[in-house]
Amino acid sequence: MKIKTLSSQRFPTTLPWMLPIVLVLLFVAVLIWLPWQAQRMETNERQEQLIADTLWVEQALQFQLNRHQESLSNIAEDFASGKVSVEVLKARLNLYATNNHEIGELALWDVRDKLVASNIESGTKSPPNSLIEALQSNANFTQKLHKASCVKSQQQVATLYCRFPLFRDTTYLTSVTVSYRLQTLLDETVPWWFAQENEISLLDQDEKILAKRAAAGAGKNVYTHNRALDFPQLSLSLHTNSTKAEPKLLSNLLVVSVVLLSLGLVWSLIALWRDINRRLQAEGALRKEAMFRAAMENSLITGLRARDMEGRLTYVNPSFCKMLGFPAEELIGKLPPMPYWAPEEITEYENRFAQILTGTVQPEGFETIYQRANGERFPVLIYESPLVDENGKQTGWMSSILDVSELKRAQELSRQQEEKLHQNARLATMGEMASMLAHELNQPLAAISSYATGALNILKQSDQVNTLSLTDALEKTTQQAQRAAQVIRSVHQFVKKREASRALFHIQTLLQSVMPLIALQAQSAHIHVQYQIDPDLPEVFGDQVLIEQVILNLTRNAIEAMHDVAYAKRQMQIHAHLIADPHLPHSRSLLVQVIDQGHGIAPEVAEQLFSPFFSTKAAGMGMGLNICRTAIEFHGGSLKYRANPAGGTVFEFTLPCDAHKDDLHKE
């Protein structure tokens, strides 16, 4: 166990020392291998260049000979077609031989293989150099008259004789014979630059030199190459022998190589170390970011989808698939209409999709209905935003989808709870007014009792009834009874439980119905109430009982705010005016103000004034102003407050007058 521990401890320390040794050995091996490899590479390069140049010369020779064959065949074709006479034919042959120095003798033969014309005049030919005699003495020409064939000369001057027959369909018409001076052919075809670096020769099958060109002397037999030249019934070869010797290394090549290799080794190690570190850091950061993104997308409860400019789905996250009940492979690549579109909402989807394609979609979210794979409908909230690549070009649209089913249920539950809070608030208000109500009812009841007793005494004291006194007593009794009944009806209408309902009503009528209740609260606190209500105010569409509750809560708060001020300043004003809606042009709103001259609102209280369960009263629930604001916003208005210049606070709310019933019910 100790030995294994020591070995494991020693190995990490010896490894850094072994690395430089390995590098030095590798460096020495490279120094030995480099000159040899450089020489070998240069040798291979020269050999490859020689092969390429030889191939080029071979193609040039073949092209020149093919050109001659094609041109002579055209001359024979003209003769066979009767387009030219013998004299013209002879002139053309003479001209062609004059323009091409490598051509020696030309002859045209008829269908019976009799000489028709030649570029050699009859008086000047001398055997055995005569083309005719050379052809007649060669077996290839006499035995295969109607086949293309070539033979080489047996004389001292290397000459190539070729015969090219001319056929029309399968009928033999004529033939052309030509002799090539091989030495002249090499001199005319091989370029000077190639001859300066190479010795080039034409060899027969026995490797006998027929022609040779060597402008820079004999070849060194270091770089050589042979190319076969194929002729009809004859094979020649093109032999190239370079005049270059084996490559020699420069005297300072080793020193330069050592310096360059050393610098390159040091630089490459540093660069490699930096590059590896950067690459590892980049890969680690990329891996962490990819894992974080994947974990974030998989943990989101919000559905995500991406679409291209044509509306095709290109990406969906697991939450989106789970929300709809469709696997990702059934959604990726889909074009509208989508499988999760509800049939009854197809028109809305198409309109929204058209807005997205035209770029007119608004950044705020919108609600719609989607359909799960099992056919269940559920509400969703969708936010659309452009999808932009790294170049700033829009490539599609990114959407986030929220399933708001639970939110809708929570909103419905909250609405029911708010209705209960409204009812409880009305009952709490009623409890506070109980003592004032008893005092207010005692006065008309006591008056009714006094007037009734007086009427009875009048009837008892005289047999002849005083009609005027009795009528006056009974009328006052009736007035007091109606007064008590009005108070009771107002209280009953206020506290009875009912469902929220909307209807058109006049604010003047509403204020008249709550005036007795406001008066009950104001009289006990010795507060004077003033009303300023514009005439001919338009009707308001809403829940009259909710607006009554808001007014009663605001007036009760105003009365309580003036509890400690002097009696002369206990003034409360209730105003109702028609104003223009600042948020909606060409629309009107009803402004209702409750103005007191109390102690005002402290800054620390103002921050939480509308917060639930916040109250400055010892026994308060902290829901009054929050309920009031919820009720006003439910009608499309707003509840605000500001300081009263004369001291105290002004609470005011607005209600839209031109809102349509359908607009108020829109979700």
Tens digit of each residue's pLDDT (9 = 90 or more) over 479-490: 656 656 665 665
| Mean pLDDT, the chain, integer | 76
* Cα 217 from chain centre: 71
From CA 116, how far away is CA 124, in angstroms rounded?
Answer: 17
- pTM of the full predicted structure? 0.36
414 has pLDDT over 80: no
Q: What is the pLDDT of residues 246-267, one digit of tens each?
A: 766 554 566 566 667 766 776 7
Q: Which fold has domain 501-667?
A: Heat Shock Protein 90 (3.30.565)
Q: Which residue has the higher pLDDT, 416 or 429?
A: 416
Task: Please name every residue paired with 161 in a beta bridge, in sequence order, or none if there are none.
Answer: 151, 179
Q: Which of 3.40.1390.30, 3.40.50.280, 3.30.70.20, 3.30.450.20 would CATH assign to domain 47-242?
A: 3.30.450.20
Q: Which of 325-329, 481-485, 522-526, 613-617 is predicted with the least confidence, judged by mean pLDDT?
A: 613-617
DSSP state letter for 338: P
Task: Encode 351-366 in three state secondary structure.
Answer: HHHHHHHHCCCCCCCE
- Predicted confidence at residue 616, as pLDDT, reads 58
9 has pLDDT over 70: no
Q: What is the mean pLDDT of residues 434-442?
A: 54
- Predicted confidence at residue 530, as pLDDT, reads 92
- Predicted confidence at residue 580, as pLDDT, reads 81
Instruction: Report whether 557 contacts 651 (CB < 8 A).
Output: yes
Distances (CA, A) of 9 to 15, 18, 19, 22, 124: 11, 16, 18, 21, 105
Q: Any idea of the CA torsion for 508, 510, 513, 518, to the nearest 10 degrees?
A: -90
Above pLDDT 70, what percent of the chain? 69
Q: Which residue has the higher pLDDT, 141 or 597?
A: 597
pLDDT-derived band at 624 (thresholds 50, 70, 90) equals: low
Q: What is the mean pLDDT of residues 32-40?
A: 71
CATH of domain 301-403: 3.30.450.20
- H/E element holding 542? strand 540-542
**Torsion angles phi and psi, residue 318, rounded to 5:** -60, -35
Q: What is the pLDDT of residues 137-178, one digit of tens each?
A: 554 454 445 667 777 765 666 888 888 888 888 888 888 888
Q: Which fold has domain 405-499?
A: Helix Hairpins (1.10.287)
